[in-house]
């Protein structure tokens, strides 16, 4: 216990020290929200990766989908690395950096407002961001608290939530984006070391990798044949595909993820960041889902209710798998999941507070705001956002499964934003009304799914499947509506796209020239 508490104290002390150190970088809006657009490849790549993967992935998704798909759940991690990291950087990275700087936009809603020349779109986007980031944040607390309860039996769930909320708030409020990026780097290193150590320890409990695979081959669950859980695509390939799409393509439309591209320093940093971010995702995401794939080997340690369901739901699987590890590894796991959760939480609260301040309050509620006042309001809203999400998490009896909460959040945000953001970077003919259609469809279908789920077709009753349909639907809706609605002013749009045509000089080693 002394060792566990000691590691936590050191960890928290470092996080707060970084926040205080970075205070000098957060005196104006550009510094507080984007780190002065001068963040290098390692910090940016780790900030992207640690914002991507949290306790939601490690506890909720790895447990639930490892149980459902077996070792085939590793495909989710591979999809996260290739589609959610590699292709996201290649397709979005450079253009997002150029267009956001050209339009002088610091947030995704501000980008929508300027790219599509509509203040109403900016306001609507900021409201969607604020509403749907809250359930995602609450799920972070929920996942983390389950591991805390396993490692520290005497510590109350409420104490876990409150401590995490306060400490994250301190370093984000003090140091802004730069503090978040530096802490993300430190937390990312912990995650890489931790996940490798934990996988090795868990597999050794079942005789190693080959014996663990043989164990999975013997399991026969209802509706599956023996060997389904160690097969290439698992017992439900279609369900697996939906999860891969939501957790991978979804990052392209999440404000807390896309905003990382706004802060990149230079061209070569994009190339390095792409490689680092992809490798990080392979280890962390691939490792989490690979670990979860062996969850059924621990059936004897789980408690089942009369209806056959697991006591505590799927979210209890990973803590059960880890409960028998040596104390030193339990401490590593706690720091690992704490790192993953705090890094994601800091990105979420920064994205939400900056959006509300710059896109909703500035110029609408308060007409004239100095730089200092904007930063002050963002700091106040960080406290408000953390408090609301913590309050929801404290009412844990009313929370649905972690995976469902994340599915609703990702589905609504990516369903609303992915298509208009992507087309806005590449296609001049996307119209204002097509963006409204995407917002209404993406957010609307997820709201209906929350309150009228039994009325949906069977395949769409899962928030995950519904989220995928929201995203893919937006990619069809935006061009379809754009063809039949009034176009934006050609001269204005051409002016926006000129930022891609600016000629730059590069060393001969990067280009042979004419």
- Identify the CA nearest to 68 among candidates 242, 220, 240, 311: 240
3-class SS at 28? coil
Tell me: pLDDT of 198 over 80: yes
270-279, pLDDT tens digit by residue?
888 899 999 9
Mean pLDDT check: name the lowest of 267-281, 283-297, 349-363: 349-363
In this structure, what are the phi and psi dihedrals at residue 395, rounded to the nearest 5 degrees? -90, 55
Q: Are 351 and 256 in contact (CB under 8 A)?
A: yes
Q: How many helices (H) and strands (E) does the chain have?
A: 22, 0
Alpha-carbon gap, residue 469 to 442, rounded angstroms: 9
Q: Is 437 within the bounds of a domain?
A: yes
Q: Is 509 within the bounds of a domain?
A: no
Average pLDDT, the chain: 82
Written as six digits, the tokens of 64 are 């639930």
Tell me: pLDDT of 401 over 60: no
Query: Which pLDDT band holds residue 420 (cuts at 50, 70, 90)?
Result: very high
Q: How far is CA 18 from CA 13, 127, 147, 171, in A?
A: 9, 31, 25, 7
Q: What is the pLDDT of residue 476?
A: 96
Domains contained in the chain, number: 1
Q: What is the dihedral of CA 447, 379, 360, 371, to 10 degrees?
A: -160
215-269, pLDDT tens digit by residue?
888 887 666 667 788 888 888 889 899 999 988 998 999 888 888 888 777 777 8
Q: Are 420 and 474 in contact (CB under 8 A)?
A: yes
Alpha-carbon gap, residue 94 to 96, rounded angstroms: 6
Instruction: Name the residue with higher pLDDT: 472 or 308.
Output: 472
Mean pLDDT check: name the lowest of 129-133, 150-154, 323-327: 150-154
Q: What is the pLDDT of residue 487?
A: 93
Q: Is 118 within the bounds of a domain?
A: yes
Alpha-carbon gap, residue 137 to 129, rounded angstroms: 12
User: Which range marks the domain in which residue 140 is found?
Assistant: 2-500
Q: What is the pLDDT of residue 510?
A: 63
Query: Which pLDDT band holds residue 73 (cuts at 50, 70, 90)?
Result: very high
Q: What is the pLDDT of residue 172?
A: 82
Alpha-carbon gap, residue 53 to 331, rounded angstroms: 19
CATH code (residue 221): 1.20.1730.10
What is the percentage of the chain residues whose pLDDT exceeds 90? 23
Annotate 395-458 with three-state secondary structure: CHHHCCCHHHHHHHHHHHHHHHHHHHHHHHHHCCCCCHHHHHHHHHHHHHHHHHHHHCHHHCCH
331-356, pLDDT tens digit by residue?
777 777 777 777 777 777 777 788 87
Q: What is the pLDDT of residue 382?
A: 85
The size of the chain, in residues, is 514
Q: What is the pLDDT of residue 136?
A: 75
Written as six digits, the tokens of 450 are 């929350």
Q: Are 204 and 66 in contact (CB under 8 A)?
A: no
Q: Is 508 within the bounds of a domain?
A: no
Work out the angle at residue 218's Cα, subtended by the Cα atoms of residues 214 and 220, and round it to the nearest 5 degrees.
145
Alpha-carbon gap, residue 353 to 72, rounded angstroms: 38
Q: Is 81 within the bounds of a domain?
A: yes
Q: Are 39 and 265 in contact (CB under 8 A)?
A: yes
Alpha-carbon gap, residue 252 to 134, rounded angstroms: 19
Mean pLDDT check: name the lowest of 272-276, 369-373, 385-389, 503-507: 503-507
Q: Is 178 within the bounds of a domain?
A: yes
Alpha-carbon gap, residue 460 to 441, rounded angstroms: 14
3-class SS at 107? coil
Q: Is 268 within the bounds of a domain?
A: yes
Alpha-carbon gap, residue 373 to 360, rounded angstroms: 14
Q: Look at the block and give the residue holding tokens 């003919």.
A: 429
What is the percentage of the chain residues whose pLDDT exceeds 70? 89
3-class SS at 194? helix
In this structure, what are the phi and psi dihedrals at residue 368, rounded to the nearest 5 degrees? -110, 115
């Amino acid at each position: 216990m002394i060792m566990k508490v000691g590691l936590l104290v050191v960890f928290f002390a470092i996080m707060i020290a970084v926040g205080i150190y970075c205070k000098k970088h957060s005196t104006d809006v550009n510094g507080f929200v984007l780190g002065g657009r001068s963040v290098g490849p390692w910090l940016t790549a780790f900030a992207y990766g640690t914002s991507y993967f949290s306790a939601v992935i490690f506890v909720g998704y790895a447990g639930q989908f490892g149980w459902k798909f077996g070792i085939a759940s590793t495909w989710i991690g591979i999809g996260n690395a290739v589609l959610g990291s590699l292709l996201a950087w290649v397709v979005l990275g450079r253009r997002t950096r150029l267009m956001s700087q050209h339009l002088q936009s610091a947030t995704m809603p501000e980008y929508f407002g300027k790219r599509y020349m509509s203040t109403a779109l900016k306001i609507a986007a900021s409201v969607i961001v604020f509403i749907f980031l809250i359930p995602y944040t609450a799920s972070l607390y929920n996942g983390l608290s389950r591991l805390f309860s396993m490692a520290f039996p005497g510590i109350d769930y409420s104490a876990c939530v409150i401590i995490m909320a306060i400490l994250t708030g301190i370093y984000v409020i003090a140091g802004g984006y730069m503090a978040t990026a530096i802490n993300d780097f430190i937390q990312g290193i912990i995650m890489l070391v931790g996940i490798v150590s934990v996988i090795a320890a868990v597999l050794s409990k079942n005789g190693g990798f080959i014996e663990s695979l043989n164990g999975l081959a013997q399991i026969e669950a209802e509706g599956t044949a023996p060997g389904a859980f160690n097969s290439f695509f698992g017992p439900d390939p279609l369900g697996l595909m939906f999860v891969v799409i939501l957790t991978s393509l979804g990052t392209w439309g999440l404000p807390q993820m896309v905003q990382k591209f706004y802060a990149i320093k230079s061209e070569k940093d994009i190339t390095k960041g792409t490689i680092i971010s992809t490798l990080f995702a392979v280890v962390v995401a691939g490792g989490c889902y690979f670990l979860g794939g062996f969850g059924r080997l621990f059936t004897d340690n789980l408690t089942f209710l009369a209806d056959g369901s697991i006591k505590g739901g799927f979210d209890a699987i990973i803590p059960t798998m880890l409960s028998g590890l040596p104390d030193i590894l339990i401490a590593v796991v706690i720091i690992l999941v704490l790192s993953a959760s705090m890094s994601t939480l800091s990105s979420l609260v920064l994205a939400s507070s900056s959006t509300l301040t710059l896109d909703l309050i500035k110029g609408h509620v308060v007409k004239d705001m100095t730089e200092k006042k904007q930063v002050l309001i963002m700091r106040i809203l960080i406290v408000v956002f953390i408090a609301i999400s913590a309050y929801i998490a404290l009412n844990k009896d009313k929370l649905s499964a972690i995976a469902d909460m994340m599915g609703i959040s990702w589905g609504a945000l990516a369903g609303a934003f992915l298509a208009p953001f992507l087309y806005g970077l590449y296609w001049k003919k996307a119209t204002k009304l097509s963006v409204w259609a995407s917002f209404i469809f993406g957010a609307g279908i997820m709201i209906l799914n929350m309150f009228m789920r039994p009325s949906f077709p069977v395949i769409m009753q899962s928030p995950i499947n519904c989220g995928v349909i929201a995203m893919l639907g937006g990619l069809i809706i935006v061009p379809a509506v754009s063809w039949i609605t009034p176009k934006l002013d050609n001269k204005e749009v051409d002016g926006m796209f000129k930022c891609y045509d600016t000629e730059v000089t590069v060393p001969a080693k990067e280009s042979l020239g004419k």
